[in-house]
Structure 1
Amino acid sequence: MALMITDECINCDVCEPECPNNAIYQGVNIYEINPQLCTECVGHFDKPQCQEVCPVDCIPLHPQYIEAKEDLMLKYHQLQQDKVN
C-alpha cells in the first residue's frame, strides 16, 4: 500500500526530505504523498522513513492503494529504471 498523510499533519517539514522516492510534497494545507511514487520505502529501507520521523503519527496506510510487498518492490524497480532513462 501507499501511505497517506492525514489532516493531523502539523507541517513540521521532517518527512519530505526523508522520502527516497520524492513522493512527499507540500499540498495546499498539509504535506501529501503521491501514491504512484510511494513504495513504503521498500527497496530502500526496512521501514517507511516518513513514519519513523513523524512527530504526530499522522502517516497511515492509504486504504485506496492496496499493494503487496512484491508489488511495492516492482514499483521500486520501475521508479529506479525511470531515473536512469
Structure 2
Amino acid sequence: MAKKNKRIEQSDICIGCGICVSICPVNTKLEKKDEFDPDDAQLAIKVYSGKAVLDEETCIACGACARICPVESLTIIEIPSE
C-alpha cells in the first residue's frame, strides 16, 4: 500500500451531521456491495455518539470529508516526507 503523505485530524466541534460519512469514497464503495452491513462494515468514517469518528487504518486521507464539513471540524494535515 502507498505511504500516505497526509492525514485527517478532527476537532471537538463536530455536530454529528453525517455529511462526511456520505461523501467518503471508501464508505461509498463499501455501500455499493450487495453484502453491505453498516454495523459490521469497516467504514473510514462514521458517526458514533453524535460525533464523526475516523478509522485511520481505513481512511485514505483524500480530504473529501474535510472539504465538505460545514463546521470545519475535519482538517487535512500534511505529513513532511522523510
Secondary structure in 2 matching 1:12: coil
- Asked whether 1:4 is paired with 2:4, we answer no
The 8 Å contact of residues 3 and 59 in structure 1, kept in 2 or not, is answered as yes
Q: Matched residues in 1 for 2:59 and 2:49: separation?
A: 19
Name the structure 2 match of 1:21.
26
Name the structure 1 match of 2:70.
55
Q: Which has the higher contact order (CA 8 A, sep 6+)?
A: 2
Higher helix share: 1
Residue segments in structure 1 that go unaligned for 5+ positions in a row: 42-47, 69-85
Q: Matched residues in 2 for 1:28 and 1:5: separation?
A: 15
Q: Matched residues in 2 for 1:4 and 1:57: separation?
A: 11
The 8 Å contact of residues 4 and 32 in structure 1, kept in 2 or not, is answered as no
Q: Percent identity?
A: 28
**Cα drift, residue 4 of structure 1:** 3.0
Q: Matched residues in 2 for 1:11 and 1:49: separation?
A: 16
Residue segments in structure 2 that go unaligned for 5+ positions in a row: 1-5, 28-43
Runs of 4+ more than 6 Å apart: none
**Cα drift, residue 3 of structure 1:** 1.0
How much is the aligned-residue C-alpha RMSD, in angstroms? 2.3
The 8 Å contact of residues 13 and 71 in structure 2, kept in 1 or not, is answered as yes
